[in-house]
Amino acid sequence: MAKRKLEVTLTPIATQIDRAEAKMKSLRPKVSAADKKAIDLEIKKLEKFRKELAEFCGRMTHGFKPLKPAGGEK
């Protein structure tokens, strides 16, 4: 019997990141200026994490698109 390769999808993580961003963006108009800056920083951190995750994983499912072309081309 042939062994099947383990397939992992990170789509649930991408969905959670998108939900967190949407929630923070919806709260943004309701808070003070200082809190808006904190929310903006958190949103930037989430976006950075998603980019790093996509870069680390290379080719992924439809939830992630690689930042660099496959094969090490620049």
pTM above 0.85, yes or no: no
Q: Kindly report, residue by residue over 43-71, the tens digit of the pLDDT.
A: 999 989 888 877 776 655 445 554 455 45
Residue with tokens 């969905």: 15
> Which structure tokens are listed for 71?
């094969």
pLDDT band at 74 (very low <50, low <70, confident <90, very high): very low
Domain ranges of the chain: 16-57
CA dihedral 10, 48, 70, 3 (to 10 degrees): -20
Please determine, for residue 72, whether its predicted confidence score (pLDDT) is greater than 60. Answer: no
